[in-house]
Amino acid sequence: MCGINVIWSKGEITNITERIQKMNSSLRHRGPDATGIYKDQNIVLGHRRLSILDTRELSNQPMHSNDNIWHIVFNGEIYNFEEIKEHLNYNFSTNSDTEVILAAVKEKGIDWFIKQANGMFAIALYNSETKKLYIIRDRLGIKPIFYYNDEENLIFSSEIKAILSSGLVEAVFNEEAVDEYLANRYVRTPFTFFKEIYQLDPGTYLCIDKDFNITKNTYWDIPKAFNMSNQYNEDAILKEFDIELNKAIKYRLISDVPLGTYLSGGVDSSLITAITALNKKEKINTYTIGFQEFNEFEYSNIIAQKYNTEHHEILMQKEDYISNWEKLIKFKDAPLGVPNEIPLAVMSSKLKEKITVVLSGEGADELMGGYGRIYRAPFDYENEAPKIDFYDFFISKYDYVPRSMRDQFISTPTNYRQKYDNELRAEFNKASNEENVFKFFHKYHVKGLLQRVDMTTMQASVEARVPFLDHKLIEFSYRNIPYDLKLKWTSATAKEEARKGNSNKYSEILDIPKYLLRGLSYKYLPREIIERKKVGFPVPLTEWFKNLESLAFELLPKASWLKEGMVNDLIEKSKTESRAGQILWMFINIELFRRNYFQKDWRW
């Protein structure tokens, strides 16, 4: 795991070496172990290294092919690099996955390499002979890559702060992102909170020539197949699923530095911990965090004892939460999206004392239908027969801050809302409602979780790996696991009984979300872990509402994106929502972020 930077200019840039060094310095948290640059005329590549595989200096980056034509900076891991290596006839000088990328691209080409690669990655590859630059992002968008293009200068980086640190870009607040963030808790690709700074779409790569002609190639998307079969052999599918999940987790155990797991005590993290412990000879470190008001220590301890882990409990105070809030916004270069980002970051800083790689459970709910109430939207829609289309019905349940509330309080444009509404409504018309919900969560929702896991771990120089987002596992799930084994009714009569209410009342009572995953868990976990109700990772914001209210009165009267004189109304309206604390927290986040980035001149 690392940080990568690129500056490429049509003309000469003064101090280009100093600029890339400043970019590298701004990413020191992503890679404290080494720094390096490569320059060829008006292009320069920069790298910060967090050593995971082949920790020798020989594997530092930028790295160059043995004919000195290909040059790479790379953030991430290629888990199957040893398998790829077997197909190559290359004189290797390291044991790193980075050199395997260079060798594969040199001998077989970009497309061959990408097709073979199983991993998480943001890669910049430059060919000094053809003068072409390739920027590649992994299939799910686990690793970030941002860019700026003003037709004269192209700048790429793992983080926006590095693009700003180049001194070539002005920070301009993107008001259109406000509505988008309040709906989704993050800003969907390709946009960001900065005008003219964009995210590269997952599953794509750019090819750029010396005249700055850019070709965008899409090499992967959410699978087209979606299994709705009612005829299946549950035992056979369960065995296959066990094999595929074990394969995904085992891939993510390759490391030349200490490794551990997050262990909340829920099914997902407990299952990862169990399979990891069974496949590691040494005792693994596990970590959990909670608050006095709420924690799951009792459940995480059950798994820690069962698998004899070196377990660490972290109790977080309200004061720790508030003091870390603004600091973490500066790492993320965006408003925080989920309140538990702060405890996750604190936990990551603690685990860095003993380990550098951590396995995390993001993606399990998206894989198997874990958000029971909203995944049952197709059933509720059919049952309630509202006079709106399914997309409008679904999005009214999904949007975090309701549309009516956003329209009431914010003064910014809603262009992104209209853009995505039009695109998604057209997409939803092409498939079943059940399929649409699963694909929406994989294509959009999980990206916000990935931004969370990248920031919270990388700010502490820790690499997070997410086995439930292995692309082969996702393809297997869409193709081989019937919908009925993801969300299963508890009995033959449960479905009819559910028609008397909606998913807020029957979810996890009359049905079993993540049914097959829970079924597999009985092989590894105690019953009390599997059969308890899903609780997520709550932060007691509603209990702390008075503190949030004080912050709102301090910050929000100055917010240009908020309608004038609406702060009192916003606070009162927030109190009527079930997510009262979090909604007010999100509004405060925007202004905390804005005051940290847009009141200084970044150009030099």
Is residue 472 within a helix (H) or strand (E), and if so which, with residue range? helix 471-480
Other Cβ atoms less than 10 A from the Cβ of 528: the count is 11
Q: Output DSSP code: residue 152.
A: S
Q: List the structure tokens of 140.
A: 């799910």
Lookup result for tokens 């998307």: 221
Lookup result for tokens 């059933």: 379
The amino acid that residue 368 corresponds to is M
Q: Return the closest-CA partner of residue 253 out of 226, 284, 231.
A: 284
**Residue of 1, 2, 78, 344 with catalytic role:** 2
Rounded Cα gap, residues 182 and 598, in angstroms: 20
Does the annotation count 207 as an active-site position? no
| Backbone torsions φ then ψ of 225, nearest 5 degrees | -70, 150
| Backbone torsions φ then ψ of 117, nearest 5 degrees | -70, 130
| Backbone torsions φ then ψ of 50, nearest 5 degrees | -110, 110
| Backbone torsions φ then ψ of 567, nearest 5 degrees | -65, -45
Q: List the structure tokens of 338.
A: 């989920």
How open is the CA angle 236-237-241, to the nearest 5 degrees? Answer: 120
Rounded Cα gap, residues 448 and 450, in angstroms: 5
Rounded Cα gap, residues 516 and 513, in angstroms: 9
The amino acid that residue 150 corresponds to is D
Which parts are annotated binding residues for L-glutamine? Answer: 97
Tell me which residues are annotated as active site.
2
